[in-house]
Amino acid sequence: NAGVMQNPRHLVRRRGQEARLRCSPMKGHSHVYWYRQLPEEGLKFMVYLQKENIIDESGMPKERFSAEFPKEGPSILRIQQVVRGDSAAYFCASSQGEQETQYFGPGTRLLVL
Amino acid sequence: AQSVTQLDSQVPVFEEAPVELRCNYSSSVSVYLFWYVQYPNQGLQLLLKYLSGSTLVKGINGFEAEFNKSQTSFHLRKPSVHISDTAEYFCAVHGYSTLTFGKGTMLLVSP
């Protein structure tokens, strides 16, 4: 029974490049959440998606960041034209329903040089 | 709106001693509370959760937490810690659809 899977686990990008982070939810889960963890801070909510729909993106920066959860395949968090301030750990979580317990993946640690 | 305050950024303790990690919350909706643990360079693992019912919640690895509505607290406790409990602990409150986390408490267990 695989848990939430994220890849890559580590990603290095130069300023101006694009970063694509992938998340496969637990089997049977159709709700996906993305959180960002900056150094010495807690996790901050970014976006909440169900299949093919963005439910809540109130935590997403207005520019350069986008997320999708297609009918088939993993959820993708995309960061265009990365800057050094984007360096962080990005965690994905999934749940069976909106008010259900969220289970977290191992995270993707993004380093922007 | 929801918010979580973890009063201690670090808690040093000796092995086999008891520990309490403090968490206070505010929430304008139904209160669902969680504690997660994060080991170095890993993801978050659910320790325990309070949804309703008994205010004393038991979790994995010998941890427990008590929900106190009047004090808006959800402190985490363990009667005897191990070296392997060294990790960062996050308290979280569930809002309409998302989790709001505290800044975390680093538990440092030394021999």
At A57, the amino acid letter reads E
Residue B47 contacts residue B89 (beta carbons within 8 Å): yes
* Subunit contact A59:B104, Cβ cutoff 8 A: no
Q: Given this model, what pLDDT does residue B106 score? A: 95
Which B-chain residues 92-111 have CB contacts (< 8 A) with chain A?
94, 96-104
Reported confidence tier of residue B22, pLDDT bands at 50, 70, 90: very high
pLDDT tens column, A11-30: 999 999 999 999 999 998 99
Burial of residue A113 (CB within 10 Å: 0-12, 13-18, 19+) is exposed
Instruction: Please tell me the distance in Å from A104's CA to the nearest CA on chain B.
Output: 6
DSSP state of B30: -
Q: Give A16-54 as a 3 state SS string.
A: CCCEEEEEECCCCCCEEEEEEECCCCCEEEEEEEECCEE
A107 CB neighbours in chain B (<8 A) are 42-43
Specify the higher pLDDT residue, A100 or B21. Answer: B21
A33 CB neighbours in chain B (<8 A) are 98-99
**Which whole-number Å values give the CA distances from A25 to A7, A56, A96, in the listed order?**
12, 17, 10
* Subunit contact B44:A43, Cβ cutoff 8 A: yes
CA distance A87 to A103: 23
CB atoms within 10 A of CB A31: 21
Instruction: Please tell me the distance in Å from A19's CA to the nearest CA on chain B.
Output: 20
Residue B16 contacts residue B80 (beta carbons within 8 Å): yes
* Subunit contact A48:B97, Cβ cutoff 8 A: yes
Q: Give the whole-number percent of chain B exceeding pLDDT 90.
A: 76
Q: Give the whole-number percent of chain B exceeding pLDDT 70.
A: 100
* Subunit contact A59:B98, Cβ cutoff 8 A: yes
Please enumerate in sequence order all residues whose Cβ is within 8 A of that of A46, keeping only pairs 6 or more positions apart, or say none.
A33, A34, A35, A36, A57, A59, A60, A65, A67, A77
Looking at chain A, which residue has its C-alpha nearest residue B96?
A: A99
Query: Which of A18-22, A24-28, A31-35, B27-31 is predicted with the least confidence, judged by mean pLDDT?
Result: B27-31
Residue A111 contacts residue A8 (beta carbons within 8 Å): no
**Is pLDDT at A76 greater than 90 in this prediction?**
yes
